[in-house]
Amino acid sequence: MQIRFADARPEGDYALVLPVAGKDRSALNALGAAQPSVVAALERQRFDGEAASAAELFIDDHGTSRRLLVVGTGNGSDQHDIAEKLGGTAVGRLLTSGEAKAVVDVTGLGLDADSAARVGLAAALRAWRYDRYRTKLKDKQKPTLNEVIVVGGGEAAGQHYMDRWAPVYEGVSLTRELVTEPANIIYPESFVERVQASLKGSGVDIEVLNRAAMEKLGMGALLGVAQGSVREARLLILKWNGGGEGGQPVAFVGKGVTFDTGGISIKPAAGMEAMKWDMGGAGAVVGAMKALALRKAKANIVGICGLVENMPGGNAQRPGDVVTTMSGQTVEVINTDAEGRLVLADAITYVQRNFKPSTIIDLATLTGAILISLGHEWAGLFSNTDELAEKLQQAGADSGDKLWRMPLAEPFDRLIDSPIADMKNVGPREGGSITAAQFIQRFVENGVKWAHIDMAGKAWSDKPSATYDKGATGYGVRLLDEYVAEVLEA
Ligand code: BES
Ligand code: MN
Ligand code: ZN
């Protein structure tokens, strides 16, 4: 999708998108002679101008018939929200409509440059789809819209879009692609290759550890998960040094289970295909690194992805096995389906030993229990530092990747003590997301600020929203990008 910005409406063929705030019809005055009949048509459709609502009709625009899409912006005052719902709703409606070009006229909304640019961002994000394996799409199912022009957003909007939001779009796209690809295509090795190709020339430094290298480092927890699969594990290390010399970096760590069968503690068949996106945390980390590099963020960030496939098999780890982590701590593997925390434990130790980060933020599709707690609207946030938690929640609110804080406390920690090893990898069913976070916390070294994001309810959506269609959401990329912008670059 081409996104452009202009001062005035172009000549020629296009669908016109006009925002209307609630019951206020004044935005339609620009239609001149057509205005009264348009207002009447909106009444007939019971169009009330609510945010993200839309009505469609054809008008006579100086002698040519033109599709008019009226999009409601509601009665709220949050310009970012208005802008993104407008751009996304317009594209959601027009993507396969037959129209090739849309003009979103925001004159009269009084948007600042950033908000006007976000109309373009949401339009681009909502247009994203992955048709690679759909070889028999009917013409009617294929996208027709290939250009969105935002008119009346002011001079700075276009430049701001290029500087800030086009990179974010690229990052989200990479994440969505990795999350969407099936597990016969994306496994640890091919995940790395896809990322290497995508980040070529971006200035991100890439390092990869294979199984032999991880064995030498004693990463027994991560490798224990991987040992049932014929796909070899990888640790992917991405470095972006935009903040100059010195200073401790901030680390992003992602769970990258390219498929989670559960292992010997195998999952039920129904719905297991969803576990192709159990690498959504790692996907978010690489997408964020791409966005930050493309927009040349002034910060030093290291991104780590623990990439494994969790399979049953003759060499798979068994319930009751004891593994030794890179930290030296031992773990009794009670349930081989609680594998994400085992992967994160070694990835977190690795990043602390090698990069001495001040702050670690890990992202993982870690527990089904977080879906029971928070459903699909919020991801769960756990942190050992209030200030970090508050800043992440702020970035979550500002980016739309929302976070709800959950507790950590010693009584939960006791629930993962093991009679044979230093800890076991599962607690009781109750509070399952919390004991999972407590497990990870045992690998965070003294003085390191740490936050854990359980995004099991967020990586994939069964219904479309303003900025995504059904499927991979790209959750986490905008959150991390916003955190860097608000906290590290401020
Ligand atoms: N990847 C799953 C968590 C998950 C579940 C993500 C549903 C997305 C949707 C994770 O590895 C897992 O299997 N967790 C177990 C932990 C349990 C065995 C303690 C779970 O949540 O059931
Ligand atoms: Mn699992
Ligand atoms: Zn998993």
Average pLDDT over residues 374-383: 98
What's the confidence (pLDDT) of residue 239?
Answer: 98
Tell me the per-residue pLDDT of 258-284, one tens digit each, with 9 for 90 and over: 999 999 999 999 999 999 999 999 999
Q: What CA–CA distance (Å, rounded) separates 270 from 96?
A: 32
Half-sphere exposure of 18 (CA within 13 A, CB side): 26
pLDDT band at 238 (very low <50, low <70, confident <90, very high): very high
Q: Report how far ligand 3's centroid is from the alpha carbon of 394 (Å).
A: 27
- Is the pTM higher than 0.75? The answer reads yes
Q: Report how far ligand 3's centroid is from the alpha carbon of 203 (Å).
A: 31
Check: CB of residue 194 under 8 Å from CB of residue 305: no
What's the confidence (pLDDT) of residue 244?
Answer: 87
Q: What are phi and psi of 18, to 5 degrees?
A: -120, 125
Ligand nearest to the CA of 454: 1
Of the residues 276, 337, 362, 376, which should be mutated to test ligand 1's pocket, given the most ligand atoms within 8 Å of the CB?
337
What's the confidence (pLDDT) of residue 155?
Answer: 87
Check: CB of residue 330 under 8 Å from CB of residue 282: no
Check: CB of residue 108 under 8 Å from CB of residue 149: no
What's the confidence (pLDDT) of residue 434?
Answer: 99
What's the confidence (pLDDT) of residue 247?
Answer: 82
Residue entry with tokens 């994939």: 460
Q: Report how far ligand 1's centroid is from the alpha carbon of 439 (Å).
A: 14
Q: What are phi and psi of 165, to 5 degrees?
A: -95, -30
Q: What CA–CA distance (Å, rounded) separates 363 from 449?
A: 15
Check: CB of residue 405 under 8 Å from CB of residue 480: no
pLDDT at 395 over 90: yes
Tell me 484's DSSP state: I
Q: Report how far ligand 2's centroid is from the alpha carbon of 476 (Å).
A: 20
pLDDT band at 63 (very low <50, low <70, confident <90, very high): confident
Of the residues 257, 311, 363, 367, which should be mutated to test ligand 1's pocket, given the most ligand atoms within 8 Å of the CB?
367
Mean of per-residue pLDDT scores for the chain:
98
Ligand nearest to the CA of 425: 1
Q: Residues near 308 by Cβ (< 8 Å), separated by ≥ 6? A: 188, 222, 225, 226, 229, 233, 256, 257, 258, 339, 343
Q: What CA–CA distance (Å, rounded) separates 77 from 51?
A: 11
What's the confidence (pLDDT) of residue 154?
Answer: 86
Residue nearest to ligand 1 atom 8, measured at CA? 456
User: What atom in ligand 1 is closest to the CA of residue 275?
Assistant: 1
pLDDT at 379 over 80: yes
Q: Report how far ligand 2's centroid is from the alpha carbon of 276 (Å).
A: 11
Q: What CA–CA distance (Å, rounded) separates 238 from 286?
A: 8
Q: Give the domain ranges of the chain.
A: 2-152, 167-488
Tell me the per-residue pLDDT of 126-148, one tens digit each, with 9 for 90 and over: 999 999 999 999 999 999 999 99
Tell me the per-residue pLDDT of 176-193, one tens digit each, with 9 for 90 and over: 999 999 999 999 999 999
Residue nearest to ligand 1 atom 16, measured at CA? 338
Residue nearest to ligand 1 atom 5, measured at CA? 368
What's the confidence (pLDDT) of residue 211?
Answer: 98
Structure tokens at 279: 């690498």
Q: Which residues are catalytic?
A: 267, 341
**Class of the 167-488 domain?**
alpha beta
Structure tokens at 120: 């373009």
Q: What is the separation of C-alpha 222 from the centre of its chain, rounded to a whole number of angstroms?
A: 24
Ligand nearest to the CA of 256: 3
pLDDT at 411 over 80: yes
Nearest to 258 by CA among 233, 289, 224: 233
pLDDT band at 226 (very low <50, low <70, confident <90, very high): very high
Q: Residues near 200 by Cβ (< 8 Å), separated by ≥ 6? A: none
- For 230, counting Cβ atoms within 10 Å of its Cβ (0-12 exposed, 13-18 middle, 19+ buried), the class is exposed
Q: Which residues line ligand 1 (CB under 6 A)?
A: 260, 278, 335, 337-340, 365-369, 426, 432, 456
Q: What is the separation of C-alpha 419 from the centre of its chain, rounded to a whole number of angstroms?
A: 39
pLDDT at 6 over 80: yes
Q: What CA–CA distance (Å, rounded) separates 446 from 347?
A: 17
Tell me the per-residue pLDDT of 435-489, one tens digit each, with 9 for 90 and over: 999 999 999 999 999 999 999 999 999 999 999 999 999 999 999 999 999 999 9
Q: Residues near 443 by Cβ (< 8 Å), separated by ≥ 6? A: 325, 327, 329, 344, 345, 348, 349
Tell me how many degrees the CA angle 130-131-133 measures, rounded to the nearest 5. Answer: 115
User: What atom in ligand 1 is closest to the CA of residue 367?
Assistant: 21
Helices (H), 33-147: 35-44, 79-94, 113-127
- For 338, counting Cβ atoms within 10 Å of its Cβ (0-12 exposed, 13-18 middle, 19+ buried), the class is buried
Convert 97-129 to b/e letters by CB count within 10 Å (16 or more is b).
Answer: bebebbbbbbbbbebbbbbbbbbbbbbbbbbbb
What's the confidence (pLDDT) of residue 487?
Answer: 98
Residue nearest to ligand 1 atom 3, measured at CA? 367
Q: Report how far ligand 3's centroid is from the alpha carbon of 367 (Å).
A: 7
Tell me the per-residue pLDDT of 24-57, one tens digit each, with 9 for 90 and over: 999 999 898 999 999 999 999 999 999 999 999 9
User: What atom in ligand 1 is closest to the CA of residue 339?
Assistant: 11
Q: What CA–CA distance (Å, rounded) separates 17 from 216?
A: 59
For helices 113-127 and 166-180, what crossing angle results, to 10°?
20
pLDDT at 246 over 90: no
User: What atom in ligand 1 is closest to the CA of residue 425?
Assistant: 19
pLDDT at 307 over 90: yes
Helices (H), 129-218: 156-160, 166-180, 188-199, 211-216
User: What atom in ligand 1 is closest to the CA of residue 436?
Assistant: 19
Q: Report how far ligand 1's centroid is from the alpha carbon of 338 (Å).
A: 6
Nearest to 309 by CA among 218, 220, 212, 232: 232
Tell me 443's DSSP state: T
Residue entry with tokens 């004693």: 218
Tell me the per-residue pLDDT of 322-377, one tens digit each, with 9 for 90 and over: 999 999 999 999 999 999 999 999 999 999 999 999 999 999 999 999 999 999 99
Ligand nearest to the CA of 335: 1
Tell me 208's DSSP state: E
Domain 2-152 in CATH 3.40.50.720: no
Check: CB of residue 197 under 8 Å from CB of residue 177: no
What's the confidence (pLDDT) of residue 209?
Answer: 99
Q: Report how far ligand 3's centroid is from the alpha carbon of 277 (Å).
A: 9
Q: What is the percentage of the chain residues whose pLDDT exceeds 70? A: 100
User: What atom in ligand 1 is closest to the CA of residue 435?
Assistant: 19
Tell me the per-residue pLDDT of 146-175, one tens digit each, with 9 for 90 and over: 999 999 998 899 999 999 999 999 999 999
- For 421, counting Cβ atoms within 10 Å of its Cβ (0-12 exposed, 13-18 middle, 19+ buried), the class is middle
Residue entry with tokens 């016109």: 16
